[in-house]
Amino acid sequence: MSSTQTSLASSDAAPPTKPLRAIPGSYGFPFFSPIRDRLQYYYSQGRDNFFKTRVDQYKSTVFRTNMPPGPFMAKDPRVVCLLDAQSFQVLFDISKVEKRDLFTGTYMPPTALTGGYRVCAYLDPSEPKHAMNKKLLFSLLHDRQPHFLPEFHDTFSKLFDGLDAAVAGEAKKADFNALNDVSSFEFCCRAYFGVDPASTSLGADGPKKVSKWLLFNLHPLMVLGLPKIVEEIFLHTFHLPPFLVKSDYKKIYDFFYSAAAKTLDRAESIGLDREEACHNLLFATCFNSYGGFKVFFPDIFQWLARAGESLHKRLREEIRSVVKAEGGDGSITITALEKMELAKSVVYEALRIEPPVMFQYGRAKKDFVLESHDASFEVKEGEMLFGFQPFATKDPKVFKDPETFVADRFVGDEGAKLLRYVYWSNGRETDVPAEGNKQCPGKDFVVMVGRLLVAEFFMRYDSFEAEVGTVLLGAQITITKLSRATS
């Protein structure tokens, strides 16, 4: 660990000691400047270059700018942008920032998309229902934990069968993303509620209906490749009318109301309205879990494909030797997963280099001073703070070769010290989710399932090859070669 990393790790509680500097940047003219910035962000500069250009211009990783979507969906697009690992951490400090209605950013989707309720993701920890809903999610994760591994094995074995069939077929290739959409949704429903959605009235269309609903929530942040004027009007200026997805959402809701009956009984026992709790469970399952796995699992395979045979060999040797030592029947256990140091590191590195959640927001509760690596900045009560996570988790003052996927970056004691700078879960990887904070209640579940995906794959295959492209929110993986396990 470098001296810079050591100083960061020990300075969180220290008073500001860096030179005080006015926050650079400007919001420009109301209405017109936010639209200009939106066009630069989506089209003329592109997302990453939008931020890099301003870092170079202001010679600072902290600056003022407007964030999309702007008019007319966002009442106030003005933010203080935080792009380094040091300043970013203030977004986790609920004594300084409020998280009310900021889950998706400067805009909030219509509550008609969530049954008329503000679900837990949009609640601040100061609101009583935040703790109640989070308590319900914690209890669900705890009660269903014994089912996670066997349900994953059964569900993703079918995905692997699909890969085998497609690669052996006429096309000689397999669309991992399409198969993953089906398997991830099935896994989430079976793992949390013990129900296969395809065997219910929801049928096999569940993933498509949920993906359509996700689009209605997230379209202000998307570029679909349509003509610019069409995207500006229909995606970035006005909300898509919720009634267009109402019937799909009702079918999803009806499925959850039945499948989650036992969990809804518990919700009522702790004082939550049954209907409201159902909308919260639907959101946590479909948006947080399934929506996350739609992005996260292809990203893992992106980096595995790019790394090639040398990493595959190391992974399969580690995974198989650990599983053999743990009993030898080929079953993967929690204890075995914990001993797979390289596999764990691969998952952490995938979360670091391309976090499935890119944005974090918080509104200042009071005046305070925040620090970047180089300076201190005064923040005023009411100002919106925005962190672009891929820059913070690829901070060159924390991580060596930050743009490079380093599979064993988090192996060993020195690697473990870097985990506090992995921020994907709305908190540090070393933090613990609690009812009183905004960290993802399923943080450990997501990491475990990521490891499980890697372990299950390399128990079955020696190696693979894939074409890597891009889709709306992540990587498109097309498997072109699979080498079944030989030992």
Annotated binding residues: 440
Contact status, residue 205 vs residue 180, Cβ threshold 8 Å: no
Whether the Cβ atoms of residue 32 and residue 71 lie closer than 8 Å to each other: no
- Which run of H or E residues covers position 302? helix 291-307
Q: Which residue has the tokens 């390289």?
A: 342
Distance set, CA 251 to CA 206, 207, 210, 245, 404 (Å): 9, 12, 10, 10, 43
Centre a 10 Å sphere on the Cβ of residue 397 and count the other Cβ atoms it contains.
17
Rounded to an integer, what distance in angstroms lies between the CA atom of residue 380 and that of residue 377? 10
Tokens of 386: 């925005």
Tell me, what DSSP letter sits at residue 120? G
Helix (H) or strand (E) holding 480: strand 474-484
Report the alpha-carbon distance of residue 295 to residue 302 in Å, rounded: 11
Distance CA 387, CA 367 (A): 18
- Tell me the angle at which helices 176-193 and 206-218 cross, rounded to the nearest 10 degrees: 100
Residues that constitute the known binding site for heme: 440
- d(CA 357, CA 405) in angstroms, rounded, equals 18
Calpha distance 196→191 (Å, rounded): 9
Phi and psi at residue 354, in whole multiples of 5°?
-145, 75
Decide if 177 contacts 471 (C-beta within 8 A). yes
Q: Measure the CA dihedral 205/146/272/199, to 10°.
A: 20
Q: What are phi and psi of 170, to 5 degrees?
A: -65, -35
Closest-CA residue to 283 (of 391, 401, 441):
441
